[in-house]
Amino acid sequence: MNKHNLLSFFQAIEKGLILAFFACLPFFAIGQNSVVQQDVSLKPIVYPNATNGLIKFKGLRGETLLLNVVNDQGKTVFTGEASEKEAINITHFPNGVYYFRFSDGQQSFYRNVVKK
């Protein structure tokens, strides 16, 4: 896969076209114009996973990140902020897999969460 194809692939992920790939991005993030190695000091962790209620975050270095949550249909179901001081209540979400996109304005980080 050449650099152009790889960028197109990651751009498709960014647009929500390839949702299943979110779980496979632990080491790379999407920068503004390129794929860059993830800042290892910023490693968002979502817990508990699986969950039926509150979602908490750690590994954010005390920062507040932008957060978008997408369901397995590609629909954005939550947009807001994530911090280690706040929890997000997803009890009203239907059971399934949700894809969390964290952004610090320069990089995006992806995690998946199972709601049971």
Note if the pTM is more than 0.85.
no
106 confidence band (pLDDT: 50, 70, 90): confident
**How many domains in the chain?**
1
Where in the sequence is the domain holding 92, given as residue range(s)? Answer: 3-115
Residues with Cβ within 8 Å of 24's Cβ and at least 6 positions away in sequence, in order, are none
pLDDT the model gives residue 2:
46
pLDDT the model gives residue 66:
95
CATH number (domain holding residue 26): 2.60.40
113 confidence band (pLDDT: 50, 70, 90): very high
